[in-house]
Chain A
Amino acid sequence: MIIKRESIAVSFKQLKLTTILQHVLLILMGVIAIFPLYWMIISSFKNEAEIFTASFFPKDPTFTNYIYAFSEIPIAKMMLNSFIVAILLTVFQLGTSILSAYALVRWKFKGSFFIYSIISLSWLIPIQVIMIPNYVLINQMGLNEKLLGIIIPLSVSTFAILALYQGFKAFPTALIEAAILEGESDFGLLTKIILPNLRSTIASLGVLLFISGWNEYLWPMLITTNMENAPIQIGLRSFVNSDTNLWGSLMAATTISSLPILIIYFILRRHIIDSFVKFGMK
């Protein structure tokens, strides 16, 4: 590799300036990305006198906001609701998408394109367009106020199906052929060969689905009206629109509600980001 001397000199100079600019941009964006989170956390510890100031660190940190938050809305119960909804949604969505993606990839059958199209197109249907009839149906089924009423209509995640479809398609055929020659059934093929090898993809997908289920907001708001039955996001929402100076407690409640996600993110961020990266590479 012959490298011209001049171009090295020029590139180095360019490199320095652009690198510095790059880093400035990145740091700026990084700060913008994380500042609101920081502000939320420190605000939650500020006492009544300090909360209306712009201090960057609470001078007199207090837990009263948290105590008050717990008394204002049934936080514990709502966190539990959120957990149940998020976990069940993850399970159902993973289940349906594994089965569907497998079917679409494994066999060539009549109508496969048709079904694939129906599935992909459903991604484009926004919840606002279908919310009213679904709301009516849930009430007719008597599932309003119940967590199942939140969960069942959301049990299929088109995104998950499409993601797994890609994942399955890229699976090495050698392993498949070997298994078939050994007389493995279709279901066994799925459970014993494919799934174990795609464990990390599925795990990452699962985490994403969990986060998305935890953050669900419009649909649970329509279905549950009683605080006791609602996920934590709904509790926060009514807190936001309430009449008085409860900003400290609101920030405390928001912090609490974000904790599980932040913890999961912190531990598993590599996996989460990697799964996005893989999706992007298609």
Chain B
Amino acid sequence: MSRFKSMISLVMFIAILLFISACNMMPSEESTSNSAAEEETDQQELGTLDPENPTSVTFYSYSLSYPTMKPGMEKLISDFNSTVGKEKGVIVEGVPDPSFQQNKADIAAGKQVDIVQHVFSSLDASRLTLGFKAYEDVFPQDELEEHFVGISENALELGKIDGKMYGLAFTFSTPIVFINGDLFEQAGLDPNDPPTTWEEIKEYSLQIKNTTGKDGFGLPPANGWTTDGILFSNGANILSEDRSEAVFATKETFEALSVWKDIYQNGGHAIGTRTDMTEQFMAGELGMYITSTALHSGFINASKAGGWELYGVGLPQFGDQPSVPVNSGSVLAVRPDTPEKNAAVWEFIKYVTGDEGYTTITSEIGYLPLRTGLADDPAYLKDFVDANPLYRINLEQLERIRPATIWPGNHATESTTIFTDAIVKSITTDADVEETMTEAENAINHLLQ
């Protein structure tokens, strides 16, 4: 019986604790220097930098965690540190940011996070919750204007939210169809005469599959942003102009997805995740693969190792509507908290988005030079582009790009998940495309209210 009494007192104890716990358990207002956006004093001044006492800034980059991109990115950072950085007194520390989680976690932990290589789709959410600053608010206007000359207009627009620039386009690419020349030839196709429409894609893919036994085409249903481009290419929209509601459940979307689904189910389409298909292509086991040109350097190496030739063509179109590729890549989002940091950060930004920077990014990693003039400049990228004609495709597509969807505010991650899951379900299973996508649109709009 005393056991029973003890049991009761235990339960009561816990219950009391639960009610009393109102006191002081909650995380309280932190007086760190990283407090949220309301501190908008006019911080446009750049502090003075001292080479003897270098200011250290942290640069969170996801490219540092991808084996194919890491060497190029590291070179970029060390080039800066040994030239401009040394001269002016800035040391940049690169921090790998796998799955874009690291910077969030570190900001949450109150650590020093100054520059983040940020993807487009969640920029708005981060702006609200992670304290990123508008360029206009931390760097002097005249410096900004001077620096932006030469950067593609479209590119500059991409990082703007509500009129202010929260991210300067950094790495940039469009999706193209990479082609395994060998498999094409084995299947009796000419890699110099690649497919340009979705109908042709299906045709060529089946031919490869039937003659060589290898999968003919691959586009991972969960691919991050290329899907947006597929939908745009058929005239669909994803968000309304003011980004207040999702509008993708339309006829154009259903059509586009049905074409894709048809290839997936009946057209010699590869299966698996993005990682799986990338590996498959690199192993020489896949005829055509749509992905960002950022993987170019990796693919070139793989093709050399495997003894096959790499070719490419732009995003396929629906009928005779020109395709509308969506850019992938990242912006540089900043959150310096002192004038000295402002200056240090600005030096790095100027370098990596300047001529040298973009040259390294293109030739060492595979992204597009946003200063398109560099492609024709023999001092910088002309030779590289000539040797790698795939880049011309990229540059050509630049004219038609549309920004990837930046999902609004607080529920960006959830919205992206709902959208991507719906796409995966529509394409890979028997689920009805119209139903699935409409359901998703409703769910997202419910969130956005």
Partners in one complex: yes
Q: Quick check: A139 and B109 within 8 Å, CB to CB?
A: yes
Which A residues are CB-close (under 8 A) to B106?
225
- Shortest A111–chain B CB gap in Å is 9
For residues 61 through 92 of chain B, which have their beta carbon under 8 Å from a beta carbon of chain A?
65-68
Q: Judging by beta carbons under 8 Å apart, are B67 and A242 in contact?
A: yes
Q: How many residues of A are counted as interface, with CB atoms below 8 angstroms from the partner's CB atoms?
A: 23
- CA of A113 to CA of B8, assembled, Å: 12
Given contacts A241-B99, A243-B68, contact A225 B27 (CB under 8 A): no
A12 in contact (CB, < 8 A): no
Residue count of chain B within 8 Å CB distance of chain A:
31
Task: Enumerate chain B residues within 8 angstroms of A72, measured Cβ to Cβ.
Answer: 67
Q: Does B15 reach chain A (CB closer than 8 Å)?
A: no
**A136-B27, A139-B110, A225-B106 known; A244 vs B279 contact (CB < 8 Å):** yes
Instruction: Give chain B interface residues in 105-135, CB to chain A under 8 Å.
Output: 105-106, 108-111
State in angstroms the CA–CA spacing of A206 and B200 once bound together.
65
B283 lies within 8 A of A52 (CB): yes
Q: Taking A114-B10, A238-B98 as contacts, is the C-beta distance between A245 and B27 under 8 angstroms?
A: no
Which B residues, 286 to 308, have Cβ-Cβ distances below 8 Å to chain A?
298, 302, 305
In the complex, what distance in Å separates the CA atom of A194 from the CA atom of B68? 58
Partner pick for B10 among A117, A133, A246, CB 8 A cutoff: A117
B282 within 8 A of A: yes
User: Once the chains bind, are A139 and B108 in contact (CB under 8 Å)?
Assistant: yes
Is B321 among interface residues, defined by CB-CB distance under 8 A?
Answer: no
Report Cα–Cα, A147/B170, bound state, in Å: 35
Whole-angstrom distance between the alpha carbons of A238 and B65 in the complex? 9
How many inter-chain residue pairs (CB < 8 Å) link A and B?
Answer: 56
Query: Would you call B10 and A241 a contact (CB within 8 A)?
Result: no
CA distance A279 to B282 in the complex (A): 51
Q: Tell me which residues across on chain B come within 8 A of A245, comparing CB atoms.
A: 279, 282-283, 302
A65 to chain B, nearest CB (A): 14
Considering the chains assembled together, what is the distance between the CA atoms of A114 and B6 in angstroms? 7
From residue B26, how far is it (CB to closest CB) to chain A in Å?
10
**Is A244 a contact of B65 with CB atoms below 8 Å?**
no
Report the separation of the CA atoms of residues A52 and B99 in the bound assembly, to the nearest whole angstrom: 27
- The closest CB in chain A to the CB of B109 belongs to A139
The answer to whether A244 and B96 touch (CB under 8 A), given A117-B10, A139-B108, A225-B102, is no
- Say if the beta carbon of B227 comes within 8 Å of chain A: no
B109 in complex: contacting residue of A52, A144, A241, CB < 8 Å: A144
Asked if residues A241 and B98 are in contact (CB atoms below 8 Å), the reply is: yes
Chain B residues engaging chain A, CB cutoff 8 angstroms: 3, 6-7, 9-10, 13, 25, 27, 65-68, 95-96, 98-99, 102, 105-106, 108-111, 275, 278-279, 282-283, 298, 302, 305
Chain A residues with a Cβ under 8 A of chain B:
48, 52, 72, 113-114, 117-118, 133, 135-136, 139, 144, 222, 225-227, 238, 241-246
Q: List 19 A-B contacts (CB under 8 A).
A: A48-B305, A52-B283, A72-B67, A117-B6, A117-B10, A133-B25, A136-B27, A139-B108, A225-B102, A225-B106, A242-B98, A242-B275, A243-B275, A243-B298, A244-B66, A244-B279, A244-B298, A245-B282, A246-B67
